A and B are shown apart, each in its own frame.
Chain A
Amino acid sequence: EDQVTQSPEALRLQEGESSSLNCSYTVSGLRGLFWYRQDPGKGPEFLFTLYSAGEEKEKERLKATLTKKESFLHITAPKPEDSATYLCAVETSGSRLTFGEGTQLTVNP
């Protein structure tokens, strides 16, 4: 059974304090790993797709990396507007995603 585990469950940072979120997975054939951002009361919004170990993607203050067992979402010099829940998901077969439970990030000014 495919499993996705995200840590920590919650993270509180000061503005400008860089950190990383972790997504570890055990799957039987990874087709892609996806990061989403979800704001309160809204649906998740797509951020990144990673397909193979060693791949990296960047967008503004966010950088996603992938190894054979886990992915990291690095947040550099975060701002309060980066506060959200970040979801990790894996695609294995049949166009289906398995999601982790998410990391709730709060960035204080």
Chain B
Amino acid sequence: DVKVTQSSRYLVKRTGEKVFLECVQDMDHENMFWYRQDPGLGLRLIYFSYDVKMKEKGDIPEGYSVSREKKERFSLILESASTNQTSMYLCASSLRSSGGGWQFFGPGTRLTVL
């Protein structure tokens, strides 16, 4: 079974802090994604990567950056956390051959910025 793990289930940070969210997948997937999920807004794509060191902006990249130095690991960085970044963050991965749709998700990180 594909496993996608995220470094923390719950995280509390202060405004202005630099925040790192880590995601690791164990099935050699080329594609990796970062979403945030908010009530009434659904899942929104922040960034995705289709290969090591490659990244593409999603629909809401402002205030975020990403890093993919190894195929299995995709990091989301909040350079200076703000209260409007309080959200559930979900990481996903998929095989390039399956396109983007058959995505396997991690359990999520619930981030609170005070």
Selected contact of B100 from candidates A45, A87, A95, A101, CB within 8 Å: A95
Cβ–Cβ contact A97 & B101, under 8 A = yes
Cβ–Cβ contact B101 & A49, under 8 A = yes
Chain A min CB distance to B41 (Å): 7
Cβ–Cβ contact B106 & A43, under 8 A = yes
With a CB–CB cut-off of 8 A, which chain A residues contact B105? 43-45
Cβ–Cβ contact A95 & B48, under 8 A = yes
Chain A min CB distance to B1 (Å): 11
A85-109 residues with Cβ-Cβ distance < 8 A to B are 87, 89, 91, 94-97, 99-102
Cβ–Cβ contact A101 & B102, under 8 A = no
Cβ–Cβ contact B50 & A46, under 8 A = no
Chain A proximity mask over B37-73: 1 for CB below 8 Å, otherwise 0: 0001111110010100000101000000000000000
A52-109 residues with Cβ-Cβ distance < 8 A to B are 87, 89, 91, 94-97, 99-102
Selected contact of A43 from candidates B45, B56, B92, B101, CB within 8 Å: B92
B66-114 residues with Cβ-Cβ distance < 8 A to A are 90, 92, 94, 96, 99-108
Cβ–Cβ contact B99 & A46, under 8 A = no
Which residue of chain A is the closest to B42 with respect to CB atoms?
A: A101
Instruction: Report the interface size class on chain B.
Output: 20 to 34
Number of interface residues of A (CB under 8 A): 21
Most B C-beta atoms less than 10 A away, residue of A45, A89, A97: A97
Assembly CA distance A31 to B99 (angstroms) = 9
For the A-B complex with A31-B101, A102-B42 known, give 13 more contacts whose Cβ atoms are closer than 8 Å: A41-B108, A43-B92, A44-B43, A44-B105, A45-B105, A46-B102, A49-B101, A91-B101, A94-B100, A95-B100, A96-B58, A101-B40, A101-B41
14 residue pairs from A and B, CB less than 8 Å apart: A32-B101, A34-B102, A41-B107, A42-B108, A43-B90, A44-B43, A45-B105, A89-B43, A91-B99, A91-B100, A96-B48, A99-B44, A100-B42, A102-B42
